[in-house]
Amino acid sequence: MQKIKVTIWNEFRHEKNDLPVKAIYPAGMHRAIADGIAAEDLEIRLASLDEPEQGLPDALLASTDVLFWWGHRFHAEVADALVEKIQRRVLGGMGLVALHSSHMSKIFRALMGTSCTLICRVAGERERLWTVDPSHPIAAGIGRCIELEREEMYGERFDIPDDGHLIFNSWFEGGEVFRSGVAFQRGLGRIFYFAPGHEEYPTYFHADILRVLGNAARWAAPVLPPQELRCEKVPPREQLGRAR
């Protein structure tokens, strides 16, 4: 069996610098996700912002089938050249799973074309993710809803394009709603945006959240070998200039 090569990229700064976050995720959220979705068919590598080449040297990127991305405070530090390389890989077939605050990451916004803005609040409130498409592979094994005791509120209006296939639609205790699990295709690549995952809460230890992430890794895996999309001049297939 060919394993799916998953690379989980994380800013990995909160977990080193903020004590309460460190207490929950001492080895980083990327490590918690890697442990939580570990399976025979996945080969998981970790990457983070302060590593050489911002964690994504060409060889690693080129061998990645699905890239998970968790960014928050330091979107601006990610090099534009790296963002362009990632975008080209996604358009050529690589999967992308954009997590939580990554809605404002350079790579997600580049792929959406929109502002990806929303309203938000950190108040440790209840979130309930309702399954809108139970037949989607990403929702496999998830019941009618996922309940999180404490999450950051992300609310509408979420500025994303209209072709997002809605898989989860969230309710928040404070009164808002949010399209919290949305699937896209860009070029030949599949993209899944999944909203939960504020660094101060143990979201990435929640069984259902991990199940969704594991499902997403498999769903987003490319079906074709990597492609480079290019314009191409072609000869006609029919004779031109004939009478009618």
User: Could you tell me where the DSSP H helices lie in 99-188?
Assistant: 106-112
The two three-digit tokens of residue 14, written as one number: 């909160």
From candidates 5, 72, 179, 218, binder to its own copies by CB under 8 A: 179
Q: Does 74 bind its own copies (CB under 8 A)?
A: no
| Under 8 Å between Cβ of 154 and 182 | no
Residue among 52 and 235 whose Cβ is closer to its own copies: 235
Q: Does 64 bind its own copies (CB under 8 A)?
A: no
Residue among 25 and 168 whose Cβ is closer to its own copies: 168
- Per the rule left: phi > 0, alpha: psi between -120 and 50, beta: everything else, 116 is left
Residue among 45 and 130 whose Cβ is closer to its own copies: 130
Residue among 19 and 135 whose Cβ is closer to its own copies: 135
From candidates 60, 75, 110, 205, binder to its own copies by CB under 8 A: 110
The two three-digit tokens of residue 108, written as one number: 């997600």
State in angstroms the smallest separation of the CB of 178 from its own copies: 8
Cα distance between the two ends of the chain: 56
String of contacts with its own copies for each residue 152-171, x by CB under 8 A: -x-xxxxx-xxx-xx--xxx
Among 158, 153, 167, residue whose Cα is nearest residue 212:
167
The two three-digit tokens of residue 105, written as one number: 């990451």
State in angstroms the smallest separation of the CB of 23 from its own copies: 22
Q: Does 60 bind its own copies (CB under 8 A)?
A: no
Q: Does 236 bind its own copies (CB under 8 A)?
A: yes
The two three-digit tokens of residue 25, written as one number: 């995720």
| Under 8 Å between Cβ of 12 and 54 | no
Residues 189-208 that bind its own copies (CB under 8 A): 189
Residues 120-149 that bind its own copies (CB under 8 A): 120-121, 123-125, 128, 130-135, 137, 140, 144
Contacts of residue 17, defined as CB under 8 A and 6 or more positions apart, other chains included, come to none
From candidates 16, 104, 205, 208, binder to its own copies by CB under 8 A: 104
From candidates 3, 113, 143, 207, binder to its own copies by CB under 8 A: 113
- Per the rule left: phi > 0, alpha: psi between -120 and 50, beta: everything else, 173 is alpha
Amino acid at residue number 89: R
Residue among 22 and 128 whose Cβ is closer to its own copies: 128
Q: How far apart are CA 91 and CA 154, in angstroms?
A: 27
Residue among 12 and 184 whose Cβ is closer to its own copies: 184
